[in-house]
Amino acid sequence: MKKLIFLSNLILINFYVNAQQYLNKDFNDLSLTSGGWTTQIITGTTDWFVSSFSGDDFAKISNYNNNQNSSANTWLVSNPVDLSSASTPFLSFETIMKFPGDPLVLHVSTDYDGTSNPNSQGTWTDITSLATWDVDNTAWGNWTPSGGVDLTSYISSTTYIAFEYLGSNTDGSTWEIDNIQINEGTSPPPPSGLDTVSIYDIQYTTNSNGSSIYDGLEVYTGGIVTAVRNDKRFYLSSGSGPWSGIYVYSDNYIVNIGDSLTFKAEVVEFNNLTELKNITNFQNISSGNFTNANSCNTAAVSTEEFEGCLVKVSDAICNNTNAGFGEWVINDGSGDINVDDLLYDYPNPTINSVYDVTGIVDFSFSEFKLLPRSSSDVSQSVSIDESSITNFDFYPNPLNSDNLNVEVDKNSSIIIYDYSGQIIRSFYLKPGINNLNLSNITNGLYLIKYGFETYMFSKI
């Protein structure tokens, strides 16, 4: 598993290194117009200029001068960018703003002539909504990464991007912009000097207290959003299985389930929960991606391996409808797990009813908990009927060959889990003795779930 993760990281790093870059404007040469960039003043006299702060150089604009605002409409226009050989070009940049006023407008064109008034020449498309912008006009904050703006629909040999500034006689924001890039692929390269680290490697630990080996370090990582809290903090997953999910402690970005993200973060252990916080270099690559729930038994949910993961438990019996603090308890025969109402409050769970529950594994107040996200994450089956439990037997145990004999007296099914709670195989059974081939499983301890009961066996 570790070799696979290492290989995928190596591929990701090589992809970033070899990715084609079509545009890079960082203003470090202190020139606004180098490389063929221009400004177009449409209204007033306000123009863009290059400024520096703490060794950082960037473009800046403000319509406030001599203690008053003035009407302004000024464009900062790129050189013609040749994207004719591009496949999936993505634009990225960073912004800082202060003071009330109109937002910047982001435009793209494939037929601009490079010199005329852009309000009257060229077909310009407003793609402002595709980017993330600084929105705090009360203070000078940190740079806000735009995320990846997909330019696939604007591939040409002369693609222009432009930032339009607007101000009035009564107000106007001051805007700063830096690190304008167009790169081939899903996102800009990771920040210089940082390793790309998978969620698996961040979470995997042999420490008895569950602490990550990256605790206190900065990493560049990514994954797909699996859940979003009301406070905008969220959970992220990459791949499947143990150690594949994590909690992101940040309310600076608006994300949705299915968004694919990359960012720089600090790994922090807080009350025995591994978190990613102090997020920068945020990139929202794409949306609508599929999120897969790990099938687990209830005992596996209460383990460090599945902290932060999206999981699903099946055929679990409710044995406590009110465990306090909006929680209720289910058990599929392997152990209790509390279902919490942090993301979704399931109304009126029924004692002795059987539930399938999908949700995020969280850790708080010294307990693992399962957090369903919506009503579709909880489904209820019929209550327990003792008469429906049929005769069940399996042998040999321990299993010293590849074939396990399972005897039942009616059509039914079983699920075989490994000892971490991962589903290994499932079988449909006919009345009588069923000979099941288990040649694909390695030696070790396993669990068989039949109906509402769970049995242990080993392969040697």
Q: 115 — phi, psi (to 5°)?
A: -135, -25
Q: What pLDDT does 428 receive?
A: 74
pLDDT confidence band for 367 (50 / 70 / 90): very high
For residue 312, which of 328, 327, 291 has the smallest C-alpha distance?
291
Helix (H, G, I), strand (E, B) or coil at 234: strand
CB 218 within 8 A of CB 266: yes
What is the structure's pLDDT at 3? 32
Structure tokens at 282: 């945020």
Question: Are domains 20-184 and 389-459 of this chain identical in fold?
Answer: no
Name the CATH topology of 389-459: Immunoglobulin-like (2.60.40)
* Nearest C-alpha neighbor of 98 from the set 130, 143, 67: 143
Question: Phi/psi at 29 (nearest 5 deg)?
Answer: -85, 5
Lowest mean pLDDT among 50-59, 74-83, 377-386: 377-386
What was the pLDDT predicted at 18? 42
Distance from C-alpha of 410 to C-alpha of 242, rounded to nearest angstrom: 34
pTM greater than 0.75 (yes/no): no
Q: What is the pLDDT of residue 181?
A: 92
The CATH-assigned architecture of domain 20-184 is Sandwich (2.60)
Percent of the chain at pLDDT exceeding 90: 55
Q: What is the mean pLDDT of residues 338-351?
A: 94
Q: What is the largest CA-CA distance in the chain?
A: 93
pLDDT higher than threshold 80 for residue 6:
no
Instruction: Give the integer Cα–Cα distance in Å for 205 and 306.
Output: 12
Class of 199-286 in CATH = mainly beta
Q: In angstroms, rounded to a whole number, what is the distance separating the alpha carbons of residues 93 and 104?
A: 13
Kindly report the CATH number that applies to the domain delimited by 296-364+378-383.
Answer: 2.40.50
Count of alpha carbons within 13 angstroms of residue 164, beta-carbon side: 18
Q: What are the residue boundaries of the structural domains of the chain, listed by start?
A: 20-184, 199-286, 296-364+378-383, 389-459
Whose CA is closest to 318, among 290, 338, 296, 294? 338
Digit-coded pLDDT (tens) for 391-425: 889 999 888 888 999 998 887 778 888 877 777 78
- Each residue's pLDDT tens digit, 160-218: 999 999 999 999 999 999 999 998 865 555 665 566 888 998 999 888 888 999 999 99
Calculate mean pLDDT across residues 97-119.
95
Side-by-side strand order, sheet with 412-418: 423-429, 412-418, 444-450, 453-459
